[in-house]
Copies of this chain bind each other. A is one copy, B any other.
Amino acid sequence: MKKRATIKDVAKYAGVSTAAVSYVLNGKEYRVSPDTAEKIREAIRELNYIPDYSARSLVKNASKLIGVIIPQTEDSKQLILENPFYSEMVSNIESRLRESGYHLILSGVDKGESYLDLSVQRNLDGAIIMGIYPEQFYAELKQVEIPIVLIDSYINDPWFSKVGVDDEYGGYLATCHLIERGHRNIALVTGSIRKDGVVEKRFLGYKRALREADIFYNPDHVFEHSVSYAYGYEAGKTIASKHPEITAVFATADMVAFGVIQGIKEAGREVPDDISVIGFDDIFLSRMFVPPLTTVRQDIALKGKRAAELLLEIIESDEPEKIDRKEVTIPLSIVERQTVRPLKPRS
């Protein structure tokens, strides 16, 4: 295995000191005469020199590495990347980060174990965190003092920047959409309602819409378990077979909505003819689903991109501690497709 060239080799080849090489490497060429600079660049090219980030990270205390955390399934430890909502976001985060010369360490976080290890071991320059975790998790993270942006979290701490949507409003919007079309027995199918999580807010919006329309909130109509197709499917079957009064379903994620629809069909009823369904997210599959899903749209790509930018903004400022944390909210809108049917006024 032939050794890779180090900065010393370059220095020797160019007949200068390593410091000079370091200067041109770091764009401090004003400290070096133009022709030495050229000689050095020549040497770099010639020797095929590529600097070692570990060494650099060691002295600069900056790794150009960003941690990205995705929720993982509870049972196995797999990332919930199966939900296109996350993949789409990760993909956008990655491209934005790469553009600025950062690399991304993708990881789940083991229950119990903290993310602390990874972040300090690797000297992460920052982290983007999706999903919601135990409070202690955030506390630890804060101690590391690296810039962090939270996606879809309502953790209230000025240390964290956040990007998300107005989930309460989204839930409200979805439910109103249904109510306006004459539905009054509206089920909510959702992942677990956790404190400071998005579902909690959507749930709140759901209840507000109900209240404003003078509809009695029926706890039996909320089906809460997990954000998965599988659970949606179960809930859909139950609703279609055991709850003839329900005419519409608000699923708090498109993936869940797909399951619900399939479950309803399995039980021999039709969407939207018998039961209407509205989702949340507008992942790209929703457009192609049959029937195309009516849903609350958020710009997922933008969300990822903005999260990356927010983080970079803090990292690249001169005084990261001083930079104001921001909170950006991506707009929401209903996109009407074919899974919601207006109810005929009761005869």
Contacts and interface: CB of A to CB of B under 8 A. Distances in A.
A91 interface: yes
B51 A121 contact: yes
Interface residues of A, number: 61
B95 A77 contact: yes
Contact of A79 (B57, B65, B94, B321): B94
A63 B87 CA distance: 26
A258 interface: yes
Contacts of A118: 103
The A interface, classified by DSSP as helix, strand, loop or mixed, is: helix
A90 interface: yes
B284 A259 contact: no
Contacts of A229: 284, 288
A106 B94 contact: yes
A88, A122, A258 pick with most chain B CB within 10 angstroms: A122
Contacts of A4: 120
A96 to B, nearest CB: 9
B117 A95 contact: no
Interface of A: 1, 4, 50-55, 57-58, 63, 65, 68, 72, 76-82, 84, 86-88, 90-92, 94-95, 98-99, 103-108, 110, 116-118, 120-123, 145, 229, 233, 258-259, 261-262, 265, 284-285, 288-290, 301, 321
Given A81-B81, A94-B108, 10 more contacts: A50-B121, A51-B121, A53-B54, A68-B106, A82-B88, A103-B107, A103-B122, A104-B106, A105-B106, A289-B290
